Structure 1
Amino acid sequence: MNQAAFFAVLFLLYSLTAKKESYILQLFAFGSCGFFSMIPYTEVLLLFLTLLVYYLFTKRRFGFIFGCIMGIAVTVKSIAAMLYFAVFIGMCVLWHAHKLKFLDIIRTYIPATIISCLYPFYLQVTFGSWKSFIDCQYDYWKRMKINPVQELYIQLKTIFGNIEGNCVLFRINEALSLTIVCFILYEIYCYIRSYKTRQNDLSDMLVLILYVLFSLAAINATIRIPSYNAPTTSFYRYYYSLFPIYLLAENMSQKKKNVVYACSTAISFITAIIFIKNCYFY
């Protein structure tokens, strides 16, 4: 299924970039998501479903099927709920501009909400708490709540500090996570700067940017306890599953694109080495 989702993502990216931006396809194919498509992780499936939602959004194909796909995306990985909210805001903007009917929002969000609630409902019935998955983050996964300033301090301390038990792989993980976050924020900056020269609809722009920002906030709301593992374990894998980072990349100059492509390929290579060494940042 992962391989099928991988090729489906390539097709959607090809379609969304007007079939002329091969750089974006290369960035995705040779990035970490390409690697994770070969092992049993859900990142590529998530990327496919969320990208399909955005594709349908840009084509203004709202309604029952659109809502079902969005709901399924949320059940695959909860981070897709950030797209659920971003799309809602985008649809409200379109409704305010009289480009869709309010009934379209209802037809979309009834199935999306019902399907999104299936997993919490299952948790409630099975474990007696609909948020047991969230609760286990702090127990089983050894996570703790954090704010951005504290997280940055811990990351820098992990990278440059001399902490007992702080292995090289922990430092690599933190460096990768921090680098990719900076890159994503820079992408957003470039996209906003170039907006006036582009033909994109405001609602499309909002969905892209809000999904990324909401996701960054959600992902970085907690970190792994530093004494147990690398604080932002798996974060860079999560970042690579956010489809906007590929679409936003087309706004950079060719020189910057080449640098990003080289760095992304290197990150994928490093990831492969880490897995070969049986060091899974799960």
Structure 2
Amino acid sequence: MEMSMGHSGKNINEYRTLMQIKDLHFSYTEGEEILKGLNFAIDERTTAIIGQNGAGKTTFVKLLKGLLRPTEGAVEFDGKDIRDITVAQLARHIGMVFQNPNDQIFKNRVLDEVMFGPLKIGMGEAAAREKSLEALELVGLSGHEDKNPYDLGLSSRKLVAIASIVAMDPKVIIFDEPTIAQDYYGKERIKSVIRKLRSEGVTVITIIHDMDFVADVFERVIVFAKGGVLLDGSAKEVFADETILKEAYLEQPNVTRLCQSLGYEEVFLNAGEFVAYQREKQNLITN
């Protein structure tokens, strides 16, 4: 089920489409389908894919990245079936930040780590350095260029991993559980990175279990369950549908649940929305 309006109030047809998912099926072993005929488009909106473990989220993003090939159907990027594009070629356009940065980082100097990807896709050294320094500034790690990534905390290593993908200047960036091992500062920094990427026309996709983070940052939410899509719409539309969320064994964001328990019919995604609502209500009373 796909809702008709995006987070900004646009009709979904007004968003620029980057990827088409066409009757997508995938099985690791014969007779056990992980994905069962998915059909939707990935557009410019920040998009969170949520669902219980085993719903098919990780398999799906591996298919987007070209790390797996569909059993049936197709994933198209810019109108081309990605089966006709090598993983190396696709890396120029689609980047992925792993859940555990230790699975991604292998250099002993932060700047070398961030420059590796840009150089690997054919960027000149001067351009790779410039992009890498910009990416490190974006994630708040300027001044750490000469440090060993493993002398940094896990939260900062995650930011190094993000910078290494951002520096490659892809059109699409996939985040696998971006908030794991992040403190408050790290989460806020990643939020600002995602918003900045969105403003620059980069399509950001995440698979994630942190509903509060999704409610704060992501425009579109797709609910996966048992290899299919249960719900697809704006964050407010999806988190308003408590029945479908329960069917997928998911919870609403904390603020949404709290306000509903207090008797509010409106759907608030975060504390900022609730405060703005109360201020507007107070202004109407006083005026």
User: What TM-score, normalized by structure 1, do the two folds share?
Assistant: 0.31
Higher strand share: 2
Higher relative contact order (CA 8 A, sep 6+): 1
Higher helix share: 1
User: What TM-score, normalized by structure 2, do the two folds share?
Assistant: 0.30
